[in-house]
Amino acid sequence: MKKTFVSYEKLKEIVKDYPTPFHLYDEKGIRENVRHLQEAFSWNKGYKEYFAVKATPTPAILQILKEEGCGVDCSSYTELIMSDKVGFKNDDIMFTSNVTPKEDFVLARSLNATITLDDITHINFLEETAGIPETISCRFNPGGDFVINNAIMDTPQDAKYGFTREQMTEGFKTLISKGVKHFGIHAFLASNTIANEYYPALARILFETAVELQRETGAHIQFINLSGGVGIPYLPDQDATNIYEVGQGVKKAFDEILVPAGMGDVSIFTELGRFVLGPFGHLVSTVLHEKHTHKEYIGLDACAANLMRPAMYGAYHHITVMGKENEPDDHIYDVTGGLCENNDKFAVDRKLPKIDIGDLVVLHDTGAHGFAMGYNYNGKLRSAEILLKEDGTTELIRRAETPDDYFATLDFSKWSKK
């Protein structure tokens, strides 16, 4: 059984000040989770978590993570601007992008961010547009299938990202000739994996590649970025990733591969947006309508514009009907939003307690890739974001959009009647 991080009584107080729908974040849970992550990798002197801004691009959340010693992983011009405004500087910013516009590289260089190149052709492109820094990272794609315990976890050969193995060697040699002195290696081979074996298996691939690259090119490999992919248990019967077991698994690979090769000074980086934030966000909504046709439908004031994952991926997000946590799940509903799209459903044939108009509903695990993936289809407006602070008070950290925001990029004077 998944439990909410906010009580029904507290939520009733919150909705008096902030109309639903809104995304609610748990500051206490976020801070505690980051500290567990850092403790799990404390064996590595240079360890740093670079939070993936794309997961939750909200300055107040980034500020919390900054206070906890995290850096940021950016992938676009505006994410770089946001990170700079929050106060992240220099090597606190990792810039990992693909199909990168010139302007993005120029801004990343001006901020002295650590740049990860996605393709060997980007070496010359970066040199021509912004210059080559002394420290740079390259993203590695080993191709084939990524397998753990005889199970295919993902298929890197189909991913658009990264250098091939041969290109890594060629790229390192080219970059050395252009003045690069320190290197990083980055890879992302599977998404939302709750298997404790994922990071250690990825680490072994990258550690072995790093040893080979150092021998082949003489490059000084300063850091290895395990990127993201460590997931969260969206389903109530799933076990959460044991980050301490993960950390020890990576340490074992480190001690067995890098240390004997004289590379025990390599720093380990992570970019765990979903793991860090996912469980500590709720989408809070109110039941607007019920419909009785071929199926039983419950209509919320939230829709896929507020949480796209169920409509886009068929992803499961657990639902709690507040105040009815102990009632039997003896009704079957499709829980929907109001978009003119049939896939605008948060749940299909979900067993829930009897739901009434006006009930408060919480959709779990929306702290990452929740608000961030919002959009304005059907003219729907993005919702507010609220922070539940450690002392129990709340703070509006992003107001809800208004129609004026929606129309801000248009000039109606050409069509307005005088």
User: In this predicted structure, what is the pLDDT of residue 120?
Assistant: 97
Specify if 97 maps to a domain: yes
User: What are the pLDDT digits (tens) for 340-389?
Assistant: 999 999 999 999 999 999 999 999 999 999 999 999 999 999 999 999 99
Mean pLDDT, residues 272-290 taken together: 97
Q: How confident is the model at residue 1 (pLDDT cuts 50, 70, 90)?
A: confident
Specify if 401 maps to a domain: yes
Cβ 49 vs Cβ 38: under 8 Å:
yes
Q: Are residues 253 and 345 in the same domain?
A: no
Q: For residue 68, is pLDDT > 70?
A: yes
Strands 93-96 and 114-117: parallel
User: What are the pLDDT digits (tens) for 171-187?
Assistant: 999 999 999 999 999 99
Domain interval for residue 147: 28-277
Q: Kindly report the CATH number assigned to the domain that includes residue 95.
A: 3.20.20.10
Q: Are residues 62 and 185 in the same domain?
A: yes
Q: Are residues 80 and 36 in the same domain?
A: yes
Q: In this structure, what are the phi and psi dihedrals at residue 55, rounded to the nearest 5 degrees? A: -70, -40
Last residue of a domain, one of 236, 255, 277: 277
> What is the C-alpha separation between 83 and 180, in angstroms, rounded?
25
Specify if 103 maps to a domain: yes
Q: Are residues 291 and 261 in the same domain?
A: no
Model pTM? 0.95
Mean pLDDT, the chain, as a whole number?
A: 95
> What is the C-alpha separation between 367 and 304, in angstroms, rounded?
15
Q: What are 214's two structure tokens?
A: 């150092």
Q: Are residues 250 and 384 in the same domain?
A: no
Told to judge if 70 belongs to the known catalytic residues of this protein, a careful annotator would answer: no
User: In this predicted structure, what is the pLDDT of residue 45?
Assistant: 97
Strands 267-270 and 48-52: parallel
Q: For residue 274, is pLDDT > 90?
A: yes
Q: How confident is the model at residue 152 (pLDDT cuts 50, 70, 90)?
A: low
- Quick one: which of 274, 95, 314, 102 has its CA closest to 186? 95
Q: How confident is the model at residue 335 (pLDDT cuts 50, 70, 90)?
A: very high
Last residue of a domain, one of 256, 277, 298: 277
User: In this predicted structure, what is the pLDDT of residue 151?
Assistant: 64
Which of these is catalytic: 70, 74, 138, 340? 340
Q: Are residues 137 and 166 in the same domain?
A: yes
Helix, strand, or coil here: 181?
Answer: coil
Mean pLDDT, residues 32-58 taken together: 98
Of all residues in the chain, the percent with pLDDT exceeding 70 is 98
Specify if 8 maps to a domain: no
Q: Kindly report the CATH number assigned to the domain that includes residue 343.
A: 2.40.37.10
Which has more pLDDT, 150 or 416? 416
Domains in the chain: how many in total? 2
Last residue of a domain, one of 242, 277, 312: 277
Q: Are residues 158 and 83 in the same domain?
A: yes
Q: Are residues 255 and 377 in the same domain?
A: no
- Quick one: which of 221, 133, 134 has its CA closest to 169? 221
Q: For residue 154, is pLDDT > 80?
A: no
R_g (Cα) of the chain, nearest Å: 23
Mean pLDDT, residues 37-57 taken together: 98
Q: Are residues 327 and 256 in the same domain?
A: no
Specify if 383 maps to a domain: yes
